[in-house]
Structure 1
Amino acid sequence: MQGSSAARIAVVIPAFNEEGTVADVVRVARQFTPEVVVASDGSSDATAAVARAAGATVVELTENAGKGHALGAALAATDADYIVMLDADLTGLTPAHLGTLVRPVLDGTLDMSIGVFEGGGFVTDWGNKLTPHLSGQRACRREWLVGVPHLTDERWPEPAITAHLKETGARWDYVELPNVAQVVKEKKRGFWKGAGARTRMYAQLLTYRARRK
């Protein structure tokens, strides 16, 4: 895909303790574009090492400051024209999915595309479709993304991005990513720790507007 256009595409992947999945995500992304940046958000496991071994440029942050901060660090490490954002815990991802995600942005149809799961598994399909505006799978111009207010201030950057889409009148739409899923927090951390992490995540995501008034 990268070679079909003069425009440069970078895949950026914020990651916190995702040693079990991030390498596979990086390897798929590297089949799509040579520019893959992983920002390890103060990970205490081997996330940085396995991502680097898989071929990514890795930015290692010393503290776990949140996905927004990690995304900002990843963006600072590339000046590519277009950005594809991916979560580090995806399964079932292929280069074709990345093409589906970025194509409407490259051809000027959309300013941002947002990927939603389809057929990857009941739990992640249901969660993604219930709150598709919180999806971490996105594509847009880098210039637009770095201009999002509060992008790096928030632990979770998706509400800030969504708010900026609405405020700027940007053209955006959802695109389906068949057979892609995420490893749920309850599986990665154990049920109770995972459920607690999920609750805190949604509390921060869904109170963004109230906190920014």
Structure 2
Amino acid sequence: MSAVPTRQQPTVAVVIPAFNEEETVGDVVRAALTLTPEVVVASDGSADATAQVARTAGARVVELLENAGKGPALAAALQATDAEYVVMLDGDLQGLTREHLDVLLRPVLDGELDMTIGIFAGGGFASDFGNKMTPQLSGQRACRRDWLLGVPRLAAERWPEPAITSHLKATDARWAYVELPQVAQVLKETKRGFWSGVKARSKMYGQLLTFWVRKRKDD
């Protein structure tokens, strides 16, 4: 009697685009390693020790020579792995645990959803408020790697979340928000100083808005 072939376990990678996140990226990598040994950090032209800290923590590191934006960094991280599924994380998270990663990944692995999008809950007022006001901009997601690589202009968008959201609609993908209790994100105003942070945030929202303007023109 021939042996019944065993079903191969799905491969999973965690991909982390990061720009000047030396203070937090190590903890994010260590949390990610509790889920999978395949953790890839794409340092987006960081001027600090982001790449070194991530490598020391146990990640495979891809270093972009210039700060090209989150989209190009995410695409570079995706190209550095051949895993079937990916969990996307920002490099400035606080309070991340294995349980949060399971919440993101399990509905996708089980075939219930094509993508999950993580929303902070109880991690801190400012972080929670910003995340809940613009949940579609969350960088905490899980999906199939090939689907994500199919997002038009993924590697060309400095902020790829609107392009990903647009592709969810275009492909009729099944997706849902999932809560990540006690997870927070370091605010730009904290990392860069108040006025520099406000300027960076305003610039980011301006760049995000141009995606929809350009999309309407293309359509």
1:1-213 equivalences under 5 Å are 6-212=9-215, 213=217
Q: Residues 62-82 of structure 1, C-alpha deviation per residue, up to 9 Å, x if partnerless? A: 000000000000000000000
Amino acid at match of 2:89: L
CA distance in 2, matches of 1:205, 1:95: 30
CA distance in 1, matches of 2:109, 2:97: 19
CA distance in 2, matches of 1:199, 1:44: 22
- CA RMSD after TM alignment: 1.0
* TM-score normalised according to structure 1 size: 0.97
Who wins on radius of gyration, i.e. which is larger? 2
Amino acid at match of 1:88: G
CA distance in 1, matches of 2:131, 2:63: 28
3-state DSSP class of the match of 1:113? strand
Amino acid at match of 1:42: G
Q: Residues 16-73 of structure 1, C-alpha deviation per residue, up to 9 Å, x if partnerless? A: 0000000000000011110000000000000000000000000011000000000000
Amino acid at match of 1:101: L
CA distance in 2, matches of 1:72, 1:10: 13
CA distance in 2, matches of 1:189, 1:92: 21
What residue is the counterpart of 2:4 in the other structure? none
1:206 is displaced (CA, Å) by 2.5
CA distance in 1, matches of 2:176, 2:186: 24
1:205 is displaced (CA, Å) by 1.4
1:207 is displaced (CA, Å) by 2.7
3-state DSSP class of the match of 2:34? helix
Amino acid at match of 1:175: V
3-state DSSP class of the match of 2:15? strand
CA distance in 1, matches of 2:74, 2:108: 20
CA distance in 2, matches of 1:19, 1:211: 34
Amino acid at match of 1:178: P
Amino acid at match of 2:61: V
Q: Percent identity?
A: 72
Q: Residues 75-94 of structure 1, C-alpha deviation per residue, up to 9 Å, x if partnerless? A: 00000000000000000100
Structure 2 residues without counterparts, runs of 5 or longer: 1-7
CA distance in 1, matches of 2:90, 2:81: 17
CA distance in 2, matches of 1:201, 1:8: 33
Structure 1 residues without counterparts, runs of 5 or longer: none
